[in-house]
Structure 1
Amino acid sequence: MGLMVELLKVVAALALVVGGDVAEARQQKGELWAVLVAGSSSWMNYRHQADVCHAYQILRQHGVPDDHIIVMMTDDIAYNPENPDPGVIINRPGGPNVYQGVPKDYTGEDVTPENFLKALSGDAAGLQGVGSGKVVRSGPNDRLFVNLVDHGAPGIFAFPDSYLKATELADTILAMRRGRRFKEMVVYVEACESGSMFAHLLPDDIGVYAVSASSPNQPSYACYMDEHLNTYLGDVFSVKWMEDTDREDIRRESLKKQFQIVRQEVTESTVMHWGEIEIDRQHLSQFLGDKRSASERKNRKNRLRENDLCLSSATPSPDVPVAVLQSRLRTSATPGEAEALKQQLDSLHQNRSFVSAVMESLVVHVTDADLDIVEKVMHNAHGITRWPCYAASVAAFDKHCFGLARNPFALRVLQPVVNLCEHGYTAEQFANAVNAVCRHGVVTGIE
């Protein structure tokens, strides 16, 4: 009897040791966290929330629990008056409802760059009483996946009422790294000029790997125009990486392999990667979840068919409002409806011409009408190195001319501001030009 008791004690002790080893192994492996952001609002921008909802479904299907996924989106699409299928969001023609089960962590007015940075960096106190209050509670062995989808401009990622500066994102990531808030982070950004969010800002030795839908001076592209819904269902880069993920066994496919596939398939813009490129050797499952998904399938023929369908409808993001109105015009039911749509198109073009003319007037004012410099500033594409000048100039334009978040087309005319700063003109000179030219007051609603 005594021998049996001693044996039981030994077994119990071994169990404690093994249990401790398992717990320690889990801690060493770390946890996976995800932050998904759609920065836009309105039916015209349906595709951004559809992309983010699809990304959420991928994470859940691969075993990432809701308490480790933060979703930030306006949430004005699923039950939008223009949605003929209330409660349904799709990311491809005839696709599944990707809205089902999506957490409502931060919606409506809570979708701000400040709240995003607080959620990402784990600032629970700063989000007390805001949305779900959920934040990334990561440690030194954890991995993060961040997906940002919206409109963009040089050094800018837009939100519904404001914008995130590339330097703010970089500063937050660097502070998190210094605070040992992650082991590795992967960031996928879908936006025009999205490469400018990382160029010369993301070090290659801090455990962060980023992929952008386009280079620092290219637009991103929308795809899957749906005439039933009268909007685009997805963005080309997002569609490509997610449809690839849906097909493949992500426990075998590496980040590098997906990057190569997506870069080849996204023919309109140049998909680029940044930061610590060696991270791309790891399997996708390290950042999207390691549970096998029922949707995994390998079918090259199907891949080519779906690619053609997406690419055949690919449209530069800035041209989406025009393309949507033209589609509605083609399918208009009555002469009265057609005339109203023609007037909307005319108004859209006039408003865009107004924004472009204002920017040219600002450039002329700053350069004292030096036509040679005006030509260079208006048509060249410098990268951003003089960040303080650029940030202050953009803030003046946003505050006194066109609210950038509420005028998506205004984002398209910011390259000359970059060029002015790179040519040595100052933010003070630009602010003086704004005071002289933008006497019309702040304008909003220009798509």
Structure 2
Amino acid sequence: MKRVEVPLGMATMKLSLLALLGLFASCADARKAWALLFTGAKGFQNYASHSALCNAYHTLHRSGIPKERIVVIMYDNVVDDFDNPYPGELFNNYSKVDVYRDTPLDYTGSEVSADLILATLRGDKELVRNLTGREGKVIESGPEDNIFVAAITHGLPGMLKMPYGLMRASKLIKTLQDMHDNKQYAKLVFYLDSCASGSVFKNLPEDINVFAMSASRANEPAYKNYCEHPEFIYACLGSQFTNGWVENMESVNIRSTTFLDQAKILKEVVNMSDPQVFGNISILKDSLHQFFGGNSEPMPQQLADVSSQGNSPKDVVPSHLMPMLLLQRQVRKYPSNRRLRVKLSHLENTTREVDRFFYYAAKIGDPDARSRTLSKILSAPAEDILNWHCYEAAAQMIFDTCPGFNRAEIEAYAMFKFSVLVNLCNRVTVAQVLRGVKAAFELTSVCG
């Protein structure tokens, strides 16, 4: 049997090649890679979130993470939507490769909630059973394991939008803190692709071995890409930040590429918003394969080549304006199409009602505000959240009372307007803000 000689000073240690391989295998077995992929978005306008999540699954699985250690959570109401020109299929770029096929969805539909996602992340099988009525897959990591989390969803200041309800940043960070205290991971990386995503990790501790990257600053939108497919009238195919890291993984050797290398690429590719980093930034020096598995060969080049086609200025649109911008393009292209014009008119009216809702909430919530102050409350980017109690109470009241905010065609736009609530809560009492919100319910039709 062939032997390998390893000199140690004057002595020579002889180990069989088989023994060396066994040693390396035991080290690899001791540290496992886990992944959680989720989106809280639903409805055809969120096609990109669903397709990007599916594509991310295939990339992680090909890179070496067993499917048993990848949890996928998605509402799953896009693929068979009436507006999908290819029913049963999802494309994440212009190559028309079906990424929905062979994507194992662990939780779908009404199961998708903030409580379920956090229970899955921390490995709480009992809570998952209580929430779903069945045994479900969870992250069962140990103190030597690494975890990768990727989320593609709608964001608002300090929160993530779920199909129904919200995931608060404070609750997410507490879950991560508890997992660290319970030694449930060695290191954890979290990629968040949403509007206002930078606000979610502002209070992330630096000493719990979590590194997070957001698609945008706290007061910026995220962006969709691959938005020029002629057959997709109402949706983009990709989500720029997620497509960026996935396509990067498909074109590099993950053993020799670090998170810092990938972050630099993302800073170039995601050129409309400004990705931010948080937490333990020393993890940036780690190679991708420590989290994504051991396969080192780049993916087929034809897949990587497609990415250059999806990031031109005409292919990239802000997430919160995407439905409006795409419909406007189509109406300009087909001005005699009555169905398109009616749909655009309806969306414009609904968007105006959202604007009126927040105008009345601010005007009545702060009746003493002069016009300049009111204008700043309404139009300025979200300030730092100083009054969390007020802001969370107002946001919760809206989602408890107003189902209109859950409509796929306006929810991203409406979420971006929650900056008004942040700015208002920083100036007046919670009672005043809630009075303004209640009045806005009655004075507008957005909740109908």
TM-score category of the 2 structures, normalised to the smaller one: 0.7 to 0.9
Q: 2:54 maps to what in 1?
A: 53
- Measured against aligned partners, the alpha-carbon deviations of 1:305-345 in whole angstroms (never above 9, x if no partner) come to 8335323310011111112323443555x94xx12321221
Cα displacement (A) at 1:392: 1.2
Partner of 2:288: 284
Task: Report if aligned partners of 2:357, 2:443 keep a CA contact under 8 Å in 1.
Answer: no
Distance in 2, Cα, partners of 1:137 & 1:354: 46
Corresponding position: 1:186 with 2:186: no
CA contact (8 A) 2:360 2:439 kept: no
- Counterpart amino acid of residue 339 in structure 1: R
1:252 and 2:245 aligned: no
Looking at structure 2, the residues matched to 144 and 60 of structure 1 have their Cα atoms a distance apart, in angstroms, of 14
What is the percentage of aligned positions where both structures have the same residue? Answer: 29
Which residue identity does 1:351 align to in structure 2? T
C-alpha deviation, 1:399, in angstroms: 2.6
Map of 2:425 onto structure 1: 421
- Of residues 434, 438, 447 in structure 1, which corresponds to 2:437? 434
Instruction: Name the SS of the counterpart of 1:384 in structure 2.
Output: coil
Shift in CA distance, 51/309, structure 1 to aligned 2, threshold 3 Å: closer
**3-state SS of 2:212 partner:** strand
- Among candidates 267, 270, 285, match of residue 271 of structure 2: 267
CA distance in 2, matches of 1:82, 1:183: 44
Q: Distance in 1 between matches of 2:178 and 2:288?
A: 25
Q: How does 1:279-318 map to 2 (within 5 A)?
A: 279-293=283-297, 295=299, 297=301, 306-307=307-308, 309-312=310-313, 313-318=315-320
User: Does the residue aligned with 1:438 lie in a helix, a strand or coil?
Assistant: helix
SS in 1 for 2:374: helix
Deviations along 1:250-285, one digit per CA (max 9) or x if unpaired, are 111000010011102211000111110110100111
Alignment partners' CA distance in 2, 1:403 and 1:350: 13
**Larger deviation: 322-331 or 150-159?**
322-331
Instruction: Name structure 2 gaps, 5 residues minimum.
Output: 1-15
Q: Would the aligned equivalents of 1:222 and 1:232 in 2 still touch at CA under 8 Å?
A: yes
Q: Partners of 2:271 and 2:444 in 1: how far apart?
A: 40
Query: 1:47 touches 1:234 (CA, 8 Å); kept in 2?
Result: yes
Report SS of the residue matched to 1:164.
Answer: strand
Which moves more between the two structures, 359-368 or 82-91? 82-91
Aligned partner letter, 2:142: G
Q: Does 1:350 align with 2:353?
A: no
What 5-or-longer segments of structure 1 have no aligned partner? 1-13
Instruction: Give 3-state SS (helix, strand or coil) of 1:247's partner.
Output: coil
CA distance in 2 between counterparts of 1:246 and 1:43 reads 27
SS in 2 for 1:310: coil
Q: Secondary structure at the match of 1:71?
A: strand
Q: CA deviation at 1:443?
A: 4.0
Match of 1:83 in 2: 84
Structure 2 equivalent of residue 220 of structure 1: 222
Contact 1:47-1:232 within 8 A present in 2 as well:
yes
Tell me which moved more, 380-389 or 403-412: 403-412
Question: Which residue of structure 2 lines up, in the alignment, with residue 101 of structure 1?
Answer: 102
Counterpart of 1:389, as a letter, is: C
Report the number of matched residues.
Answer: 421
Tell me the distance in 2 between the aligned counterparts of 1:253 and 1:346.
48
- Distance (whole Å) between structure 1 residues aligned to residue 207 and residue 349 of structure 2: 48
Render the CA deviation track for 1:75-100: whole Å, top value 9, x for unaligned.
22233333333332111102422112
Any idea what the Cα deviations from partners look like across 1:206-243, whole Å, max 9, x if unmatched? 10011111000000111112221322100111111111
Partner of 2:128: 127
> For residue 339 of structure 1, what is the aligned residue in structure 2?
338
Asked if the contact 1:163/1:405 (under 8 Å) is kept, the reply is: no
Say if 2:150 is the partner of 1:147: yes
**Offset, 1:167:** 1.2
Instruction: Tell me: CA distance 1:87–1:437, structure 2 relative to 1, closer, same or farther (3 Å).
Output: closer
Aligned counterpart for 2:141 among listed residues 138, 143, 152? 138
* Offset, 1:367: 1.6
What is the one-letter code of the residue matched to 2:201? F
Q: 233-242 or 211-220, which moves further after superposition?
A: 233-242
| Conserved? CA contact 2:253–2:298, under 8 Å | no
For normalisation by structure 1, the TM-score amounts to: 0.87
Aligned to 2:38: 37
Q: Residue 392 of structure 2 corresponds to which residue in structure 1?
A: 391
| Distance in 2, Cα, partners of 1:75 & 1:260 | 32
1:171 aligns to 2:169 (yes or no): no
Distance in 1, matches of 2:231 and 2:269, equals 26
State the superposition RMSD in angstroms: 2.6
1:363 and 2:367 aligned: no
SS in structure 1 of the partner of residue 328 of structure 2: helix
Greater mean alpha carbon deviation, residues 186-195 or residues 305-314: 305-314
Partner deviation per Cα, 1:165-196 (whole Å, 9 max, x = no partner):
11111111111111111111001111111111
1:377 and 2:377 matched: yes
Which aligned pairs between 1:390-409 and structure 2 lie closer than 5 A?
390-401=391-402, 404-406=405-407, 407-408=410-411, 409=413
Deviation track 1:334-381 (CA, whole Å, cap 9, x = no partner) reads 94xx12321221221121111111211111112224214323322333
Conserved 8 A contact 1:118-1:127: yes
Q: Distance in 1 between matches of 2:242 and 2:248?
A: 10
- Tell me which residue corresponds to 1:202: 204
Rounded Cα–Cα distance in structure 2 between residues aligned with 1:283 and 1:21 = 21
In structure 2, C-alpha distance between the alignment counterparts of 1:87 and 1:293, rounded to whole Å: 30
